[in-house]
């Protein structure tokens, strides 16, 4: 519970009891519960969407509100990692120079471009998936934060940390196969319950989960080849890219 509380305080702007005394090892061990953080964010998305459905008939406006709400709840933490990662990786410099660019607080052209494309794709696929299959945007955004967070656990399990120190290192050092197994089973159980309650095809959701984890695994290998391991920025980038990928896969498979 302490690790989960610390995870909420570190990864979101949501109030959560406990976790007042920082413990890096407990925080790192809490990574296996990262999908639970996604569940809480997803439930808030669902509640807000349900409340607003009677007041906002525009699907586009609803999509914008839900995507913005997601940014507010996480404080844009992972978006910062997305921008920094693209600035570094697409600089086509040496490994060390890439890491230096990623650590720079300034956002470059590649970072700006990926953020623009991220919001366009996320809003568009959220709206289109909802309209095409008659699934509430709130239900979709209940699922997406959970699916997108499993890949952070995958990368922390299989990849080394690229720097000698850093906040992300505690997650890499304290996440193992057992933790990944707990995360995987937690997400699978969640998808099963959601599929029953909202009458969604569980098999399709389960296939999406496995495509997501496989993609996350190969993303980690690619990043490690590029810069010698993963960082907090690449974990944030993977989370946000996974959220878009999950929407694309739901659009194709639901």
Query: Tell me: the pLDDT tens digits for 39-77?
Result: 999 999 999 999 999 899 999 999 999 999 999 999 999
Residue that is written with structure tokens 């080849």 in the block: 225
As a whole number, mean pLDDT of residues 147-165 equals 94
- In terms of Cβ atoms closer than 10 Å to its own Cβ (0-12, 13-18, 19+), residue 77 is middle
Q: Residue 147's pLDDT is what? A: 96
DSSP-derived 3-state class of residue 227: helix
Cβ-in-10-Å burial (0-12, 13-18, 19+) of 52 comes to middle
Of the pLDDT bands very low, low, confident and very high (cuts 50, 70, 90), residue 17 is confident
The model's pLDDT over 159-200, given as tens digits with 9 standing for 90+, comes to 999 988 877 899 999 999 999 999 999 999 999 999 999 999
Higher pLDDT, 22 or 242: 242
pTM of the model: 0.94
The backbone region for 245, taken as left when phi is positive above 0, alpha when psi lies in -120 to 50, beta otherwise, is alpha
């Amino acid at each position: 519970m302490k690790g989960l509380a610390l995870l909420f305080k570190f990864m979101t702007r949501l109030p959560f009891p406990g976790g007042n005394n920082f413990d890096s090892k407990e925080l790192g061990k809490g990574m296996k519960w990262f999908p639970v953080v996604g569940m809480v964010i997803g439930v808030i998305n669902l509640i807000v969407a349900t409340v607003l459905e009677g007041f906002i008939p525009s699907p586009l406006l609803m999509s914008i509100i839900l995507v913005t709400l997601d940014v507010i709840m996480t404080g844009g933490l992972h978006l910062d990692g997305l921008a920094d990662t693209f600035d570094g990786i697409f600089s086509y410099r040496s490994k060390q120079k890439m890491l230096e660019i990623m650590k720079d607080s300034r956002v470059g052209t590649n970072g700006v471009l990926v953020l623009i494309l991220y919001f366009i794709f996320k809003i568009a696929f959220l709206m289109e998936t909802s309209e095409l299959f008659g699934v509430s945007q709130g239900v979709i955004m209940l699922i997406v934060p959970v699916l997108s967070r499993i890949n952070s656990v995958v990368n922390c399990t299989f990849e080394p940390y690229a720097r000698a120190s850093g906040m992300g290192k505690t997650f890499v050092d304290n996440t193992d196969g057992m933790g990944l197994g707990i995360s995987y089973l937690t997400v699978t159980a969640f998808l099963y319950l959601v599929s029953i309650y909202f009458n969604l095809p569980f098999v399709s959701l389960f296939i999406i989960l496995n495509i997501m984890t496989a993609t996350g695994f190969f993303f980690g290998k690619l990043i490690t080849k590029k810069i010698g391991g993963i960082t907090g920025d690449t974990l944030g980038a993977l989370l946000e890219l996974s959220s878009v990928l999950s929407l694309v896969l739901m659009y194709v498979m639901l």
